[in-house]
Amino acid sequence: MTARQHLAAMGAALVLLFMGVNLLGQSLLSGLRIDFTEARLYALSDGTRATLSRLSEPIEVTMVYTRDAGRTVPAIQAYANRVREVLKSYEVLSRGMIRLRILDPRPFSEDEDAALANGLRVLSTGGPDPVYFGLIARNSVDQTRVIPFLSPDQETRLEYELTRLLQRLDQPRAPRLAILSALPGIDAVTPEAGYALLRDLEASYSIDRLTPDFATLPDDIDVLFMVHPPPLDAWQLWQIDQYILSGGKALILLDPAAKTAPGTGPFGLGDRQIRSDLGPLMQAWGIQLDSAALADSLTALPIEIESESGRTEIVAHPLFMSIPADLMDPDSLVVAGLSRGINLAAAGRFIIDPQAPGHHQVLMQSGPAPSPVDPARAALDLSAAQTLALYEAGDAPAILAVRLSGSLDSAFPDGPPQARLPDDPLDREWVLAAQQEAGPGLTRSTGAADIILVADADLVEDSLYLTPGDQADFADNGVFLLNALDSLTGGTELMGLRARAPGHRPMARLDRLRAAAQQAVQSERSALQARLDLAQAQLDDLQALLARQTVRQGSGPSAPAGTEEAERIRLTEDILSTREALRGIERRYRADIDRLENGLRAFTLGTGPLLMLALAGLLYRQRRRRG
């Protein structure tokens, strides 16, 4: 065999060996996955693994995806491959408790009818066939849970949605949640009419809505969730007091200046309840909600405003706080791992009595020098400049969220107060019967209390943490509240899944270069803009002067004096040249950024091949020298 034939045979053998190893690995190591991403975006979390290990019955999971129609939408096609791989990982880790099916429904087939009957949504692509891309899961007793459409915009929530779906099928009884709120977005009749948080709660909990005139709390509730509660009478407060003393759990969002509080009148500003408090209950717990709202320059949230010139600018507004991870308790499962921050609006501060009963764990606090703000003004549209003008820096961080646990005393040691009797005879009879059945009540805890209190109710509002349209999280408000509820109900597996960071990796160096370039041209742009404003003002004054002269001289037009006409022409030319200079700055800034981006792309794409060529050249030269 010649050297050439030997080399060809060796090459063919290597190709066959490579193919054989791939086929063998695909069959034997299909469940093995190694995630090299920095945030471990593609590795299943410990919470998911714990859920899969505890599955008590088989669950059939059907991924419905129209492959041919999906190819016309590249984002859907790529995401479908990702979902399929994740589901295969679930199947492998479940040790046979999850049975995965991939269904590709054809038009007008029984499979398509089944997909529609289960509530899957279709995506129209403009072609003859729509795209189905959803999930149907069914347990051994034919209980069904569905994800109607798997949107690529919600990729960061994929593992959370899948694990929650499996939990609901394996444990059909959902935790029971009683909600009391004066905010329309939480007290909405249907989830679709309310905030996004309400829709998340409906998906995970059995909801009981309390009316403002409730006389008793529902039996067997797992958590009492109060968001800016309405004013409560003594009997209602006693009902909550007794629930807590008997070992009940509660998540309570109070506010000194609720910006989302509804009102009457043409602008909704009349008769608003901007403050919520629990009076004697807070005193018994040793926690007081300060009367003032809070501003914090350190954690001020950047927001978009329209400047006087009509341009959109980004300014840091101290009344809107973005609490970073380093101002949260790293030892608390409720807030650990919340990397995107929690956004608050006109929040308050808690003052804790050091002699109070129970254990107080501070979950979240402000920067070191927050300022009190009049709550009546904070509840309105106070601008960033107005807030800074009122700023009086304090000397200590403010407590924004606290967890209270342990044994507590009743706020009503003398027994239950008199119930307020309604006018309706039937309701009156029911309230009287409830009061007679209540008995003397508890004066001290019979079970360990567990209460999470937050000094802001506006954090539930969608615009504080969700982008419009795709409803993607840019802050962890919803994650924080759902984590708190899970912690109170004992379901901690889902906490780490909600806080997973998005897979987008920003070009940090490019962002720094862009900021430097913008800063470099900002001073020149500001000077030219000031010159343009001055010239425009002078031209307006001159034209007004000429108009007055025309009126004094009669209705007929008159030619302006030579000096005035020359000044008008000079100002007009100055304005035109300044505007052209401003446009030139914008073009130069854009060109500089484009050069930076193109240079970085060329470096990123070209470095690898160039290194490989250089390595190949070195190996070739080394072989030539040996030869």
Q: What is the mean pLDDT of the chain?
A: 83
Question: Which strands, in side-by-side order, build the sheet including 312-323?
Answer: 300-306, 312-323, 342-345
- Hey, what amino acid is at 381? D
Amino acid at 171: Q
Residues recorded for the chain: 627
Residue 366: which of 393, 327, 402 has the closest Cα? 327
- Where do the domains of the chain lie? 30-152, 174-263+271-498, 509-549+571-626
Amino acid 30: pLDDT: 55
Q: Work out the average pLDDT over 377-389.
A: 89
Confidence of residue 619 (pLDDT cuts 50, 70, 90): confident
> What is 30-152's CATH number, 3.40.30.10, 3.40.190.10, 1.10.10.10, 3.30.465.10?
3.40.30.10
* CA 596 – CA 587 distance, rounded (Å): 14
Segment holding 25, helix H or strand E: helix 3-28
- pLDDT over threshold 60, residue 517: no
Instruction: Say which residues have a Cβ less than 8 Å from residue 96's Cβ, sequence separation at least 6.
Output: 58
Using an 8 Å Cβ cutoff, are 125 and 73 in contact? yes
Q: Report residue 276 CA to chain centroid gap.
A: 24
C-alpha of 596 from chain center = 32
State how far the Cα of 48 lies from the Cα of 61, in Å rounded to an integer: 16
- % of the chain exceeding 90 in pLDDT: 38
Longest dimension (CA), the chain: 114
CB 589 within 8 A of CB 521: yes
Band of the pLDDT at 4, cuts 50, 70, 90?
low
pLDDT tens track for 49-92: 888 998 989 999 999 999 988 888 888 998 999 899 999 999 99
For residue 531, what are its two tokens? Answer: 């010159």
CB 442 within 8 A of CB 242: yes
Residue owning tokens 């307006």: 540
% of residues, the chain, pLDDT over 70: 81
Residues 416 and 463 sit within 8 Å (Cβ to Cβ): no
Residue 328 DSSP one-character state? B
Ranges 33-42, 73-82, 120-129, 374-383: which has the least confidence: 33-42
Alpha carbon separation from 355 to 278, 286, 348, 400, 590 (Å, rounded) = 19, 8, 22, 20, 61
On whether the 174-263+271-498 domain is CATH 3.40.50, my answer is: yes
Six-digit token pair at 232?
């409560």
pTM score, whole prediction: 0.66
Lowest mean pLDDT of 163-172, 223-232, 356-365, 500-509, name the range.
500-509
Coil, strand or helix: which one is 558?
coil
N-to-C CA span, the chain: 21
Residues 6 or more apart whose CB falls under 8 angstroms from that of 313 comprise 304, 305, 306, 307
**Whether 344 contacts 323, CB under 8 Å:** yes
For residue 417, give the nearest of 442, 437, 432, 435 by alpha carbon. Answer: 435
The identity of residue 258, as a single letter, is A
Long-range Cβ contacts of 193-197 (<8 Å, 24+ apart): 195/460, 195/461, 195/462, 196/462, 196/466, 196/471, 196/478, 197/460, 197/477, 197/478, 197/481, 197/482
CA atoms lying within 13 Å on the CB side of residue 307: 6
